[in-house]
Amino acid sequence: MYTTDLRTKEQKQKDQQEQLATVTEDDAAFQERIDDDQFIEPKDYMPEAYRKTLIRQIAQHAHSEIVGMLPEGNWVTRAPSLRRKLILIAKIQDEAGHGLYLYSAAETLGVARDDLVQELHEGKAKYSTIFNYPSLNWADIGAIGWLVDGAAITNQIPLCRTSYGPYARAMVRVCKEESFHQRQGYELMMAMAKGSEAQKEMAQDALNRWWWPSLMMFGPPDAESTHTAQSMAWKIKRFTNDELRQRFIDATIPQAEALGLTVPDPDLKWNEERGHYDYGEIDWDEFWAVVRGEGICARDRIRDRVNAYEDGAWVREAAEAYAAKQNQKAAVA
């Protein structure tokens, strides 16, 4: 069974260095394939550490998609129109699909989806910090689509060229859907920002609360990132956390300006020399606290996932009974 890695950051870095020091011929040939931009497929040789890194990242990603349904699910019954409700339900359903592609991609690496899900339910698995924040007003649904899906696309488009074939292929479809999610979020924000004074205030309030957590989605600063250097060498990651965070900020500020909303960062300003926006200090203490499971909604999220899983037991049983019946028929024929 795959278990959560409880080693300290220093220990992980030390182990990685030791592993790299003992490069076999197979490992060297593997790295050549990576350097040559070839995809690695499930039955190909891969170093054990590469396999483990992928399982960790893909499983965390799958859990994020599934837990990510909850803050939005909170608003389905209160969507202000039939059109908005349909869009929201379709989006949430897409996230479930993303989770399934990703669990399937993880399974090609020799882990069982049930084991991964169990880890999530036991509170041992990580998922994106962003989903531990509450969705408090209707404009939050717009902000999630615009900012959270916007950050997700920024991170995931490069993953379409990640070195592991099944993960890369899953990402192609995920990104197409995320693009629709981002646009519907921005369109919702536009309706709110250009609406009544009260609606504009709701949109601003949502931006104020989701801005900083969205920047945290990209992970710790490069200097504090445990896995970036090795994951870049293996082309699992194509850009560093800070590079993608900067790309997201640069793309999003003009969008906020078009909405007439103010990004809650007094230090934000265009830097002509760098050709990028400078931005203020991110509260990394808050980030690490949420990673440790101390986020506002952390307990609710796990409780809701466990309840949903238990409520769905009859569906799994019915599917298994149906499959058994089909197999029986096939055996007789």
CB of 320 to ligand BYC, least distance (A): 28
Among 142, 150, 166, 219, binds ligand BYC (CB under 6 A): 219
225 binds ligand BYC (CB under 6 A): yes
Q: Which long-range contacts (CB under 8 A, 24 or more apart) does 301-304 make?
A: 301/67, 301/70, 301/131, 301/132, 302/120, 302/121, 302/123, 304/70
Q: Which residue stretch of 34-42, 55-63, 107-115, 256-264 sits at the interface with ligand BYC (rule: CB under 6 A)?
A: 55-63
Rule CB under 6 A: choose which of 149, 157, 209, 302 binds ligand BYC. 149
Does residue 135 belong to the site contacting ligand BYC (CB under 6 A)? Answer: no
In contact, 182 and 145? CB cutoff 8 Å: yes
| DSSP code for 254 | H
Residue among 259 and 301 whose Cβ is closer to ligand BYC: 301
CA dist 249 to 211, 215, 243, 263, Å?
A: 10, 8, 10, 10
Q: Does 228 help bind ligand BYC (rule: CB under 6 A)?
A: yes
Q: What residues from 267 to 306 belong to the interface with ligand BYC (CB under 6 A)?
A: 291
Burial of 115 (0-12, 13-18, 19+ CB in 10 A): middle
226 touches ligand BYC (CB under 6 A): yes
- Residue 214 interacts with ligand BYC (CB under 6 A)? no
DSSP letters of 87-122? HHHHHHHHHHHHHHHHHHHHHTTT--HHHHHHHHHT
Are the CB atoms for 214 and 148 separated by under 8 Å? yes
Pick the binder of ligand BYC from 70, 95, 249, 305 (CB under 6 A).
95
* Shortest-Cβ-distance residue relative to ligand BYC: 68
Check residue 137 for interaction with ligand BYC (CB under 6 A): no
Closer by beta carbon to ligand BYC, 102 or else 192: 102
| Cβ pair 156, 95 in contact under 8 A | no
Binding site for ligand BYC (CB under 6 A): 5, 56-57, 60-61, 64-65, 68, 95, 126, 128-129, 148-149, 152, 155, 216-220, 225-228, 231, 237, 241, 291
